[in-house]
A and B are shown apart, each in its own frame.
Chain A
Amino acid sequence: MTDRSRLEAVLPLSPTAFHMLVSLADGPRHGYAIAREVEDLTEGRIVMGPGTLYGSLQRMTASGLIEEAENPGDDGLHARRRRYYRMTRLGSAALRSESERLLRAASVAQERLGT
C-alpha cells in the first residue's frame, strides 16, 4: 500500500480523532491527558469517558494514526505505569492534510460571507 492510499483510507478524520491528533502534536501523552486536552481544545464540546477514549485510541492505533510510546517516567503524582501514545508519521500527515482541508473550507466560507 502506498503512503498516498494509506492516507486516503484514514481521511476524512472524525472531529474526535482530529482533536486527539492535535493534542499529540507537541509530544506523547497518556490517555487521560489526551482526553483533558481534547476537552480544553474544544471548550468542553468533546468530553470522552474512559470507554470512548480507549475505544478511539484502539481504532486509531489499528489504522496507524498513533502508536504506543515509552513512558517518559515523569508521572510525578501518578507514579503508576500508564500507557503513552504518540503520533505516527501517517498520523502527522493525516493531521496536516485534514487541517489544510479545514482551512480551505473555512476561508471559502469566510470569503462568501464577506467577512
Chain B
Amino acid sequence: MTDERPDRIRGAYARLLGLYPQAFREQYADELLQAFDDRRSEPRFVGTVGGWRLVLFLLRDFVTSVPMTHHRRNDRRGVEGIMNDILRDLRFSVRMLLKNPMFTIAAVTTLALGIGLNAATFSTVYGLLLSPLPGTEDPDELVQIYREWPGIEYGSVSVPHYQDIRDRTEGVFDDVASWYLEPLSVASDGRSERTIGMVVSANFFQTFGVQPALGRAFIPGVEDRDPGAHAVAVVSHGFWESRFGADPGVVGRSISLNGHPFEIVGVAPADFDGPVNFAAPPIYVPLMMANVLTPAFNRLEARGSNSMNVVARLRDDATLDRATERLDAVLLQLREEYPRSYENQVGHTVVLQRDAGIHPSFGDAQRGMSTVMMVVVGLLLLIACVNVANLFLARARDRQREMGIRLSMGASRLRIIQQLLTESLLFSLVAGAAGLGLANVATGFLANFRPPIDGPWAFNVETNSAVLWFTASVSLAAGFIFGMAPALQSAKPDTVSAIKGASSARVGRSRASSALVVAQVALSLLLLISSGIFLRSLQAATQIDPGFDSPRNLVMASVDPGLQGYEEARSRAFWDRMLDEVSALPEVSGVGLAVVAPLSLGSSDRTVNVPGYEFAEGERASLHYTYVSEGYVEAMGIELAEGRSFTRQDDENGPPVMIVNQRFADRFWPGQSALGKIVETGGREWEVIGVVETGKYNSLGEDPTEFMYFPLRIMFRSDRVLVARAEGDPQAVLQRVQQIVRAADPEMPVYDVRTMEDHMGIALLPARLAGSVLGIFGLLGLTLAAVGIYGVMAYSVSQRTRELGIRVALGADRGSVLQLVLGEGLRLAALGTLIGLGGALAAAQLVRGLLYNASPIDPIAFTLVPLTLLGVAALAVYLPARRAARVDPIGALKSE
C-alpha cells in the first residue's frame, strides 16, 4: 500500500501538469517531475502519512504556481485581481437578476423545468437501474448467479443446487448467499397482516456486508443447518419503526409468521432494503425455516424446484471468467451425480450486481427505456437552453450600448465574456437549485407510488449525491450553452454603431430561432395530443363491457389460510364457512370464490385438445382458464347462455365438468350446442356443462378470447379470492367480510380488499401512466414553446423598434402594428401546429394497441389541444406585440 501510493501520486501529478500553460510544460515538464522525485525521497514524505503530506504540499504548490505561470510578467492583475473581478461580476449579476424580474422569472422557470425534469428522470433511472445496492459493502464485488437452460438465460436455482454452488466454489467466491420472496402472514400483539417477506440463507447479511442496527444477523454454520430448528427472524428498519415504534427492546420478542412463533434476533440497518430495487421486505427468515413456513412443500430437498436467487461475492483475486469456469465445472460434477435433474441445463450465467438492474432478463428493455427517457428529457433541456439563449439574446440587444461603452473604455473582450458568463452561470445555478426542488417533489411522488397490488413496495428513488452531481453538471453545462452564444455576440459589436444604438441585421439567426419555435410547438402539440389520446382512452375504458355486471357493487377480498399453517382439510372447511357466512349477509346477493380475480394482468393457460377439431399448423391450442366455485358466475353477474353453472357437487368425486365461454363454443363447435361436448386437457376429459358470455379476462383492452372455467373443488390451493355482490354500500360489505374472517381466525390476514371497480384500476394502470407521463412532458413542452415564442418575438420587436417607429410616424395606427406583430408570431405557431397535428396522427396509429377506444383519432383530443396551444401561443405573442404597438416614434427615430 505504502509502496503503491507515491506511484499513484506521481501518476496523478504527471496528469495534473496539464494545468500549466503549454509553453511552461514544454520547457519544464522533465524538471518538474525530477523535482517531484527529489521531494518524494525526502524522509518527511515517506510512508502513508508522508504520502498525504506530499499530496497537500503539491496541492498548495498548484494553487500558487498555476495562476503565476498563466499570467505574463507585466499582467498586474494577479490572483487577487481575478478574484476581485469575479466578485464584482457576481454582484453585478445579482443586480441584473433583480432589476428585471419578469425576464428572470421566465428564464429561471424555463431552465428549472428542464433541469428538474432531467434530475427527476435521472434519479429514477439511477435509483432503479444504476445505483449500487444501498447499504452494502463493496457492491462492485457482488454478482448474481443464474442457471442457464436452452432459451432461458436467467433461470432460478433450487435449494440443493444453491448449496452445491456455495460448497464447491470456494476458490472464486468469498460467500454465496441466496434468497426468495415469500408471502407471509405476520401477527404480533393481536394484529395480523399479510406481507411479502424474504427467506434467506444464513450468510445473507454477511455476503452483502451488512451489519444489523440492533441485535445480530443470522449465524452461518449454525442457522443454515437442521431444518426447522432455528425459528429466528430479522426485521427491516422500516418495519421496526412502523410496527414496533422503534422499540429498542424488540430483540428477543416473539412474532408469529404463518402461525408459527419466531424470535426477533436483529434489526437490519436503515439504509439496507434487501437485494431488490423496488421492494423492501419487512422480515427476513433463515432458509432452513422454509418448510415450516410452507409445510405443503419440501423446498429444501426438491432439486427440481427452482425458486432461489443467488448472490455471491467475488474473491479479490477472482474474475467473472474464472467464476463462470468454476461454475461450469460444478455443473459437470452435478450432471454425473444427478443425471436426471441436469440433462438439459447448459450452464450458469454470472451477472455483475451493478449491471443487473431490476432483473437481468429485462436488460435491454430497461437500458433502452432509460436511454429513450434520458434522450427525450435531454432534448427538452436543450430546447430550454436555446429558449433561454433567445431570451438572453433579446436582452443583449438592450445592453449593446453598455457593452460598446465598456469596450471603448478599454475593457477586454475576454473580460466582457467573463462577465456575461458569470451572469448566465449564476442564472443556471439558481435554476439548478429550483430544478432540484422540482425534482425532489417529483421523486417524492414516485417514491410514494404504490401499484394497486399489495406488497412491500419501495421505490428507491431519491435525490442523492449522484443526482446532485448530475444536476450541478447539467446546470453548469446549461449555463455555458445558453450563456456562450449571447456572450460572444455581445462582445463583438462594432463599438461605434453600438454606442449610437444602431442594430445590425441578423436575419440568419432569427430565421433559425423561428424554425426552433415551429419545432417546439410541433413537439409539444405531439406530446399533448398523445397524452389526450390516452386520457380519452381511459374514459372510453369505462364504457367497455367486462363481461360481468356493475363492478362498483362487486367486492373482493383475498385470504390465504395456508399462510396460517392450515392444511388442506382445515383450509377447505374455512372456505366453506366463509361462503356460508358471507352469503347469509342480508346485504349480499351472491358470493363465490376464484383462485385469481379477473383483470389481474396475468392468467394461466393450458393446452387443449378437442375431439373432432383439427388444429391448423401454428394455431393456438393453449387457452386461458381459471378455477371458480359454485355461486361465482351468479355473483359476478356473468350471463349464462346455455346449460348450468357449477354446484357444490362438482368436486373431485363427481364427473369432470367445465364451463366455456361463447367464443370457445363458437370456435370449436360452430353452429352447434356446446353442451355435452368433450375437451381433453391435463390428462383428463371434461364435459362442457355450461356456456357463458365472452368477457374480458386479462385486460380491458384485450381482443375477445376463448376461456375455460373448471370447478374449484376439484383442486386444492389455499389462497383464494372471495367475490360478493353487494346490494347496499360496498364498503360496508367489505367491512363485514373482514369481520367474518377475523371471527373465524383473529390472526388470519385479509389482503387485496377492494371493489372490483378499484381492482380494474390495475388493468388501466399502463394507460394511466402513459397518459400522465406524456401529459407532464407535453405541459412542459407547452411552457417551453410559450417561452420560446415570447423570446423570439420580443427579440424581433426589439430589433425592429426603428422600423415600427417609422410605420407609426407615417400614420400606421397602433392596432395595425399590433396586428402585424401578432400575425407574424401566430404564423409560426400555426405552422408548428400543422406539423404537430401530422405527427400526432402518425403517433396515434402507433399506440393503437394500448388504447381502449375504437378509433385513436379522438375528435376532442385533436381539436381541444391545438386550440389551447394556439391560445397560449397568442398570449406569448401578445406581450411583445403590445410593446411594439407602444413604440414611441420620436424616441425610436432619435435613437439612431
Chain A interface residues toward B at CB < 8 A: 31-32, 35, 47-59, 62-63, 80, 82-83
Contact = CB atoms under 8 A, between A and B. Distances in A.
Contacts of A80: 34
B31 A52 contact: no
A58 B62 contact: no
A80 B36 CA distance: 14
B449 interface: no
A77 to B, nearest CB: 11
24 contacts: A31-B31, A32-B34, A32-B38, A49-B35, A49-B39, A49-B60, A49-B64, A50-B33, A50-B35, A51-B62, A51-B65, A51-B66, A51-B69, A52-B64, A52-B65, A54-B24, A54-B31, A54-B32, A55-B64, A58-B27, A63-B73, A80-B34, A82-B34, A83-B31
Interface of B: 20, 24, 27-28, 31-36, 38-39, 57-58, 60-62, 64-66, 68-69, 73
B68 A54 contact: no
B interface, over-half SS: helix
A54 B28 contact: yes
A12 B66 CA distance: 23
Contact of B65 (A35, A49, A62, A83): A49
Given A55-B68, A59-B68, A80-B34, 11 more contacts: A31-B34, A31-B35, A49-B65, A50-B33, A50-B36, A51-B32, A51-B65, A52-B65, A55-B64, A58-B27, A82-B34
Nearest to B20: A51
B73 A50 contact: no
Contacts of B68: 52, 55-56, 59
A58 B66 CA distance: 13
A31 B61 CA distance: 15
A62 B73 contact: yes
Contacts of A31: 31, 34-35
Nearest to A56: B68
B39 A50 contact: yes
B758 to A, nearest CB: 69
Nearest to B65: A51
Nearest to A47: B57
A59 B61 contact: no
Contacts of A48: 61
A33 B202 CA distance: 63
Nearest to B23: A58
A65 B35 CA distance: 22
B64 A32 contact: no
Nearest to A36: B38
A29 B177 CA distance: 65
Contacts of B28: 54, 57-58
Contact of B64 (A35, A51, A57, A62): A51
Nearest to A59: B73
B485 to A, nearest CB: 35
Contact of B31 (A47, A49, A63, A82): A82
A16 B61 CA distance: 14
A61 to B, nearest CB: 10
B35 A55 contact: no
A54 B23 CA distance: 12
B61 A51 contact: yes
Contacts of B24: 54-55, 58
Contact of B35 (A32, A59, A62, A63): A32
